[in-house]
């Protein structure tokens, strides 16, 4: 009697155990499937990377034009800084099968220090490798510090609608002294040295410091002008606004001697540098730079310069 009454319960337990075993088998099969898929994905990525390395190695063994990108604001620690670009430039000039070097420029400018370092180092690289011609190709914009760098090239090209020039220097800030006075806030500054509070935005502007700062800007501007004239020489057409900080489109820049011709990266590589085969020597972007690029170059500039004010050549 008891055995008969317990029989359905054992059947239920048996079905439950069988169901659990089936579920475990299915889980194992799916686990094996996803693990296999993961290994296939990883090996595929590895194969692609190795393939790309092989292709680049093969390309480097052939005649080519070496391209180095100068993109975004020119500032220390940025994508277009001297510490990032110089190793790529040295490698490009030293490459035995690189028949020419091209600066692919799309930058609004930036630090006069970084631009000056790159200009000077490019002059040295040209002297060390006289057999290689240095071209600069301006895309959307090659202004201020970017044009400073471009002036080191043997030849400069741009599109007819490119923004070129902006040979000038700017230093800006804010004056909050009247605002805090209205709010009843007292500014207390203690300094050793009469000019240690130079450009303090919470103190009234001092005529002597204003004159001093203008002199500093004028000196940097003259350094900029001297380097442009060193690079461009007699090709420049004298114009009253040439060094005023004004900008021109590519067509007008050609008339003024700021550039040598109209063209793009591809036309210059093919028609001027003697080969359509281009290899990029530009350094890889860091993950942070990639994210910042998505936010836009102007946002990146505002954040960086807002936290670390500096002079800008424009």
- The pLDDT value given to residue 287: 58
Q: How confident is the model at residue 232 (pLDDT cuts 50, 70, 90)?
A: very high
Q: How confident is the model at residue 295 (pLDDT cuts 50, 70, 90)?
A: low
Number of H helices, E strands in the chain: 10, 10
Q: Quote the radius of gyration of the chain (alpha carbons, Å).
A: 31
CA distance 125 to 147: 18
- The pLDDT value given to residue 33: 58
Tokens read off for 228? 């442009």
Most confident of 40-44, 100-104, 175-179, 205-209: 100-104
**Higher confidence at residue 44 or residue 139?**
139
- The pLDDT value given to residue 173: 85
User: Which pairing describes strands 312-313 and 169-170: parallel, antiparallel, or unpaired?
Assistant: antiparallel
**Higher confidence at residue 122 or residue 238?**
122
- The pLDDT value given to residue 132: 95
Mean pLDDT of the residues in the chain: 83
- The pLDDT value given to residue 272: 87
- The pLDDT value given to residue 47: 43
CB 134 within 8 A of CB 103: yes
Half-sphere exposure in the Cβ direction for 190 (13 Å, CA): 0
CA distance 189 to 197: 8
Q: How confident is the model at residue 31 (pLDDT cuts 50, 70, 90)?
A: low
Q: How confident is the model at residue 37 (pLDDT cuts 50, 70, 90)?
A: low
- The pLDDT value given to residue 177: 87
93 has a pLDDT exceeding 80: yes
- Give tens-digit pLDDT for 247-286: 999 999 999 999 999 999 999 999 988 776 899 998 766 5
């Amino acid at each position: 009697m008891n055995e008969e009454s317990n029989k359905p319960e054992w059947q239920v337990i048996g079905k439950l155990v069988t169901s659990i075993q089936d579920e475990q088998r299915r889980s194992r099969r799916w686990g094996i499937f996803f693990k296999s898929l993961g290994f296939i994905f990883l090996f595929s990525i590895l194969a692609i990377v190795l393939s790309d390395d092989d292709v680049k190695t093969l390309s480097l063994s052939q005649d080519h034009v070496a391209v180095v990108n100068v993109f975004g604001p020119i500032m220390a620690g940025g994508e277009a800084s001297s510490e990032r670009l110089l190793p790529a430039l040295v490698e490009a000039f030293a490459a035995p099968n690189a028949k020419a070097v091209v600066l692919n420029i799309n930058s609004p400018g930036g630090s006069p220090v970084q631009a000056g370092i790159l200009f000077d180092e490019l002059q040295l690289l040209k002297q060390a490798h006289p057999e290689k011609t240095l071209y600069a190709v301006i895309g959307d914009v090659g202004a201020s510090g970017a044009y400073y760098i471009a002036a080191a090239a043997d030849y400069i090209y741009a599109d007819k609608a490119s923004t070129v020039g902006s040979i000038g220097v700017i230093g800006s800030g804010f004056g909050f002294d009247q605002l805090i006075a209205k709010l009843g806030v007292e500014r207390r500054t203690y300094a050793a040295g009469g000019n240690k509070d130079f450009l303090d935005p919470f103190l009234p502007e001092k005529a002597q410091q204003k004159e001093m700062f203008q002199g500093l800007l004028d000196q940097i501007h003259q350094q900029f002008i001297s380097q442009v004239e060193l690079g461009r020489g007699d090709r420049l057409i004298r114009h009253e606004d040439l060094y005023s900080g004004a900008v021109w489109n590519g067509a007008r820049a050609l008339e003024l001697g700021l550039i040598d011709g109209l063209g793009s990266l591809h036309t210059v590589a093919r028609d001027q540098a003697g080969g359509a085969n281009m290899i990029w020597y530009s350094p890889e972007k860091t993950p942070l730079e990639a994210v910042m690029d998505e936010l836009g170059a102007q946002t990146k500039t505002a954040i960086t310069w807002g936290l670390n004010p500096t002079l800008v050549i424009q």
